[in-house]
Amino acid sequence: MQWLLCWCLLVGGVPSSLAASAQDQAVLDLAAALIQRVRYGALISVDDQGQPRSRVVDGFAPDEDFVIWVATRSTTRKVEQIRAHPQVTLYYWDPENRSYVSVMGQATIVDDLETKLRLRRAADNDRLYPQFPADYVLIKVTPDWLEGVLPGYRGDPDSWAPVAVDFKQRPPQIDQ
């Protein structure tokens, strides 16, 4: 990696793929911080009539691949909606900084005991899930696209298009 830095200094620029990757990482870092700061987001799924449905969720912090987990009861409407239409959006609003993040991706219902035991948080207590583990499932949201208006990334001034990260187009990470 040091040779790449030296090369960039010699030629006076950063390769566009490296710059995009650095910007993507900066955006992801800001997005993760926003998600953790505001805690509650909206999960939007699509019902059997094609109508988007929104509800507040207490999602987990994004992991290193920006996968976001959400705990819920196995009998909720969102579980059936996701099984029929796995495309979802998680939306987080930070009014203090006038910023937001939308994470669009594919949701999977995870109901295996090992994963439920490993990921269960203190907030996922017996009051919410009195029949744990039977009434507790996890929604795994694997991101395809992230966009938002974040500090330092306020969007395009003409089109108002937010800054975005395309997870399908991201170059592989370089180990240092």
| Residue range 111-136, pLDDT digits in tens | 999 999 999 999 999 999 999 999 99
Q: What is the CATH number of the domain that holds 62?
A: 2.30.110.10
What's the pLDDT score for residue 66? 97
pLDDT for residue 85 is more than 60: yes
User: Would 3 be classed as within a structural domain?
Assistant: no
Lowest mean per-residue pLDDT among 5-19, 78-92, 103-117? 5-19
Q: Print the domain residue range for 140.
A: 39-166
- Residue 9 burial class via C-beta count within 10 angstroms: exposed 0-12, middle 13-18, buried 19 and up: exposed
State pLDDT tens for residues 29-71.
Answer: 999 999 999 999 999 999 999 999 999 999 999 999 999 999 9
6 part of a folded domain? no
Amino acid present at 59: G
Number of domains forming the structure of the chain: 1
Residue 6: pLDDT over 90: no
Indicate whether 25 belongs to any domain: no
CA-CA distances (angstroms) from residue 90 to 18, 87, 157? 28, 10, 24
Q: Is 5 helix (H, G, I), strand (E, B) or coil?
A: helix
* pLDDT confidence of residue 7: 35
Query: Does a structural domain hold residue 65?
Result: yes
**Is residue 72 domain-resident?**
yes
27 domain-assigned: no
Is 33 domain-assigned? no
In-domain check, residue 80: yes
Count of CA atoms in the C-beta half-sphere (13 A) of 84: 13
Predicted TM-score of the model (pTM): 0.85
Tens of pLDDT, residue by residue over 146-155, are 999 999 999 9
Q: Return d(Cα 42, Cα 3) in angstroms, integer.
A: 44
Confidence of residue 142 (pLDDT cuts 50, 70, 90): very high
